[in-house]
Amino acid sequence: MTRVPDFSSAVAILWLVGAVSSAAAQQETSQQRADRLSREAEARGLAEPFKGITRNGIPLEGLFPIRSTGVSTEPVRAAAAAFLAGLTSEQRAAATYPVDDPEWRKWMNQHFYRRQGVGFLTMSESQRAAAFDLLEASLSAKGLRLTRDIMRLNHTLGELNRDNFEEYGEWLYWITVMGTPSATEPWGWQLDGHHLIVNYFVLGDQVVMSPVFVGSEPVTAAAGKYRGTSILQDEQDAGLALARSLSEVQRQAAVLEVSKTGNNNLTEAFKDNVVLDHAGVPVRTFDEAQRRRLLDLIGLFVGNLRDGHAKVKMSEVEAHLDDTYFAWIGKIEPDAVFYYRIHSPVVLIEFDHQRPANLRHLHGTEPSRQHIHAVVRTPNGNDYGKDLLLQHYRRHRH
């Protein structure tokens, strides 16, 4: 309880008013701090025009030609059009942006970031069903299941934080649509929320699904409404199995650090223009079994796309396999915590066991298998389909 000093009542009242105002200001600062920090990160991240993730600041050219893939995107277009048609005029205005809008780049993993678009929490049942139809048309069964399980585990996080469903919850995710769903013109959609970001660009029958951010804390629900839900275990185990398959010489090249004491992902929110040189062991030194292990591991991430477009992307990956590198931080014991990176001219994947962020009261402060972040990027300027969009604009006046 605040003690009022023993002096005249008028002065005491003024002191008390000042003390209350000061406390209110401190409380306001605390409440707004997270928003301020996220906006500062956004401003820094968007200060430079988009270039893309590169090895030396200069994107390689000719990696992503406009072409026919032979895989129809009509189901995605139809689902997006139906989703938009089911929104109110106010919701539709909030959810739609031009295809080249900077809104593409305004995503952040943290739960406190202010999202744009229309949120699942405010959708009607029919609108929510249409939103999931869009996800189902765009993603594989695996990708859709991962999406839903991350949303469910965000509810579990709320349970573990004394039922704090204002900050954490299953429906605290937002959808925006960029451009007009079309069979010929460029467009796309974005899903944005805590531990779950999907950017999905469409041009004709070509699809670029990146940046993608997936993760959770906790990774497995031990109790509660969604007990038994667990994510990213295959990606974790396959990465470790690949590291353990390396020869001693390969391992010496792959391991950047043996000690895993912090968070290691480099290409999360507002890191669109990171300059990141190849590091680790070159895949050209792998034997056939190791190459297959690596392709299967990449396929776990790329395979969140619908099967047809996932095959298109994997053929792209295979064409550049000899220019791919595998890097590792951490140990390789069966229960180790670790980070790995797969870096090629056409795909960048990061997997990281992170420090506890919202469950320090349960898991302490060291990196844990109960907090995972994974990121998938398209280097050399084609995140968000930017390279394809630029080529389209060069061919067609807008």
Domains of the chain: which residue ranges? Answer: 74-212
Phi-psi region of 179 (alpha: psi -120 to 50; beta: other; left: phi over 0): left
For residue 283, how many other CB atoms are within 10 A of its CB?
A: 21
Give the type of residue at 351.
F
pLDDT at 31: 52
> What φ, ψ does residue 145 adopt, rounded to 5°?
-65, -40
Say what the pTM is: 0.91
pLDDT at 2 over 60: no
Q: pLDDT per residue over 293-342, tens digit each?
A: 999 999 999 999 999 999 999 999 999 999 999 999 999 999 999 999 99
Across 25-34, 83-92, 134-143, 373-382, least confident range: 25-34
* Mean of per-residue pLDDT scores for the chain: 92
* 5 pLDDT tier (thresholds 50, 70, 90): very low
Query: Is 330 buried (19+), middle (13-18) or exposed (0-12) by CB count in 10 A?
Result: buried
Q: How many helices (H) and strands (E) does the chain have?
A: 11, 12
pLDDT at 346 over 80: yes
Q: pLDDT per residue over 228-278, tens digit each?
A: 999 999 999 999 999 999 999 999 999 999 999 999 999 999 999 999 999
Dihedral sign of CA atoms 43, 48, 52, 54 in order: negative
Q: Report the distance separating Cα 176 and Cα 115, nearest Å.
A: 10
Q: Report the distance separating Cα 133 and Cα 125, nearest Å.
A: 12
Query: Hey, what's the torsion of the CAs at 318, 100, 180, 62, to 10 degrees?
Result: -30
One-character DSSP codes across 25-55: HHHHHHHHHHHHHHHHHHHHHTSSPP---BS
pLDDT at 7: 39
Q: Comparing 45 with 118, which gets the higher pLDDT? A: 118
Across 14-18, 88-92, 132-136, 185-189, least confident range: 14-18
β-bridge mates for residue 354, sequence order = none
* 39 pLDDT tier (thresholds 50, 70, 90): confident
Q: pLDDT per residue over 9-31, tens digit each?
A: 444 434 444 444 444 445 655 45
